[in-house]
């Protein structure tokens, strides 16, 4: 299928004839979990157009660009160009949905949905679901239980903030994603180092310049979970309670997840009720949601929430565990459709990432053949032997993953731990 460069004059003439009976879906910079959603849409016969910059981290694999109706190379961080491109596309295509491929493109997708008069997040609400400071402020106004926090713009304000909040504390940029520059700090020296990293104004991710604003939050003890679901025309549907595993409690790099983790009904209901209140206050609608929270002495406390698919293949894990396809409901949410309520599975499915932050390259992998004899669903290695492994952001130092499922949670956890130990990158 054609891959063309947007020039606002001739690209539209190269558009292949669309099947008017199929859903037409526009994906903006699909990445990670969104690639699985896109591939499922192709299997279902959707007509898909992709906008991608094909530079820096904004790369779409060849297998995708060769399978979709059209791939348009455009600066996906340039809102003016994207709007001009979509205005021409809509003259020939009646889109059913605009789907953001990653966190940074959620606000743009909301604006495009309003322009095309499609279901989607209201642009007046979307930044509350994108920027962590606005999210915290809105929830504070509504009286939601959450950590103490302060927005910080300078080192002088930092000292005032940590004096008020105390230690340990969390320092995080208000508009990054993927745990980038998120630090747990134990004293003023650590807080200052974390703040300096955020205050630098030359940080670009997925084409977007970070604002340089810092959020300082109270550190919350407790086991971390996420809730995955969709909001369809105001109706909230929960699909999974996901247990999170991180490399440490300082930089919070996620090294694994287990969907449908066993937990008592009282705690599950408390978390679902809490997240539903948050979604309503922040105005989430016609989208999937991914809410991260900690359970502190039985009280759910929000860490952050996003109006998009969860990353790290959590959507794929949900599909492996359930009797319905989660992606059907994600598409329905984006298209403003209604689907029947679900019956959730009780089978646990987990992913373990091979996180080796000390490795910059490897020549061979020990234990690989032995791992293949385990009852696993998927094994993937991200880097070939001899390839340089990026130093930053740190999640890129996850060298691969394994996925497995089991009705016995403890047996699943033990197997994932054992496989991670067996995989030796030399």
CA distances from 415 to 201, 361, 418 (A): 44, 26, 5
162 and 248 inside one domain: no
pLDDT at 16: 62
- Which positions ≥6 away from 81 have C-beta within 8 Å? 6, 8, 74, 75
379 and 362 inside one domain: yes
Contact 110, 120 (CB under 8 A): yes
256 and 389 inside one domain: yes
Phi and psi dihedrals of 43, rounded to 5? -65, -30
Mean pLDDT, residues 40-52 taken together = 97
The string of DSSP letters for 153-172 reads -SHHHHHHHHHHH-SSEEEE
Name which residue leads in pLDDT, 302 or 343: 302
Name which residue leads in pLDDT, 341 or 220: 220
Mean pLDDT of the chain: 94
User: In angstroms, rounded to a whole number, what is the distance separating the alpha carbons of residues 213 and 222?
Assistant: 27
328 and 410 inside one domain: yes
pLDDT at 135: 98
pLDDT tens-digit map of 84-110 = 999 999 988 999 999 999 999 999 999
Mean pLDDT, residues 404-424 taken together = 96
374 and 257 inside one domain: yes
Token code pair at residue 294: 């900690």
Length of the chain: 426
Residues 211-233, buried b or exposed e (16+ Cβ, 10 A)? bebbbbbbbbeeebbbbbbbbbe
Count of domains for the chain: 3
H helix and E strand count, the chain: 13, 21
247 and 350 inside one domain: yes
Rounded to 5, what percent of the chain is helix, strand, coil? 35, 25, 40
Name which residue leads in pLDDT, 42 or 233: 42
Task: Kindly state whether residue 126 falls inside one of the protein's structural domains.
Answer: no
33 and 167 inside one domain: no
316 and 391 inside one domain: yes
CATH number of the domain bearing residue 153: 3.30.1490.20
pLDDT at 17: 64
User: In angstroms, rounded to a whole number, what is the distance separating the alpha carbons of residues 426 and 421?
Assistant: 13
pLDDT at 178: 85
Mean pLDDT, residues 166-182 taken together = 94
Quote the domain boundaries for residue 184: 148-218
- Which positions ≥6 away from 239 have C-beta within 8 Å? 228, 229, 230, 318, 322, 326, 329, 342, 344
pLDDT at 331: 97
Q: Which of 218, 243, 275 is the last residue of a domain?
A: 218
Percent of the chain predicted with pLDDT > 70: 97
pLDDT tens-digit map of 255-289 = 999 999 999 999 999 999 999 999 999 999 999 99
CATH number of the domain bearing residue 265: 3.30.470.20
228 and 308 inside one domain: yes
Residues 67-76, buried b or exposed e (16+ Cβ, 10 A)? ebbbbbbbbb
User: In angstroms, rounded to a whole number, what is the distance separating the alpha carbons of residues 405 and 348?
Assistant: 6
pLDDT at 9: 64
């Amino acid at each position: 299928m054609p891959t063309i460069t947007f020039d606002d004059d001739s690209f539209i003439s190269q558009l292949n004839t669309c099947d008017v009976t199929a859903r037409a879906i526009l994906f903006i910079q699909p990445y990670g979990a969104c690639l699985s959603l896109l591939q499922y849409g192709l299997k279902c016969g959707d007509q898909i157009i992709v906008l991608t910059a094909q530079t820096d981290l904004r790369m779409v694999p060849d297998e995708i660009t060769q399978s979709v109706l059209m791939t348009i190379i455009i600066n996906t961080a340039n809102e003016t160009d994207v709007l001009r491109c979509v205005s021409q596309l809509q003259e020939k295509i009646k889109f059913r949905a605009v789907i953001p491929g990653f966190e940074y493109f959620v606000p743009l997708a909301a604006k495009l949905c309003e322009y095309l008069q499609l279901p989607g997040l209201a642009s007046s609400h979307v930044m509350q679901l994108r920027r962590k400071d606005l999210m915290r402020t809105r929830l504070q106004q509504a009286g939601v239980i959450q950590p103490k926090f302060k927005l910080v713009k300078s080192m002088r304000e930092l000292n005032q903030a940590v004096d008020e909040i105390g230690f340990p504390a969390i320092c995080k940029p208000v508009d990054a994603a993927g745990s980038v520059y998120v630090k747990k700090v134990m004293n003023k020296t650590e807080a200052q180092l974390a703040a300096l990293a955020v205050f630098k104004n030359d940080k670009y991710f997925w084409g977007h310049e970070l604002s340089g604003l810092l959020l300082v939050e109270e550190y919350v003890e407790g086991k971390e979970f996420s809730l995955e679901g969709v909001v369809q025309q105001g109706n909230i549907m929960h699909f999974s309670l996901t247990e999170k595993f991180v490399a440490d409690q300082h930089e919070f790099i996620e090294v694994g997840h287990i969907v449908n983790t066993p937990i008592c009904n009282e705690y599950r209901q408390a978390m679902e009720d809490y997240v539903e209140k948050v979604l309503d206050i922040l105005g989430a609608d016609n989208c999937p949601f991914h809410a991260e929270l900690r359970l502190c002495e039985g009280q759910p406390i929000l860490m952050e929430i996003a109006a998009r698919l969860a990353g790290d293949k959590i959507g794929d894990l949900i599909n492996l565990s359930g009797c319905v396809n989660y992606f059907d409901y994600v598409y329905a949410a984006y298209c403003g459709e209604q689907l029947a309520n679900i019956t959730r599975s009780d089978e646990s499915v987990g992913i373990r990432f091979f996180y080796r932050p000390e490795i910059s390259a490897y020549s061979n992998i020990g234990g690989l053949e032995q791992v293949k004899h385990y009852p696993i669903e998927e094994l993937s290695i991200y880097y070939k032997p001899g390839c340089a492994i990026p130093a930053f952001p740190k999640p890129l130092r996850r060298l691969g993953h394994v996925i497995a499922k089991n009705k016995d949670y403890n047996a699943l956890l033990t197997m994932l731990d054992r496989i991670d130990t067996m995989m030796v990158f030399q």
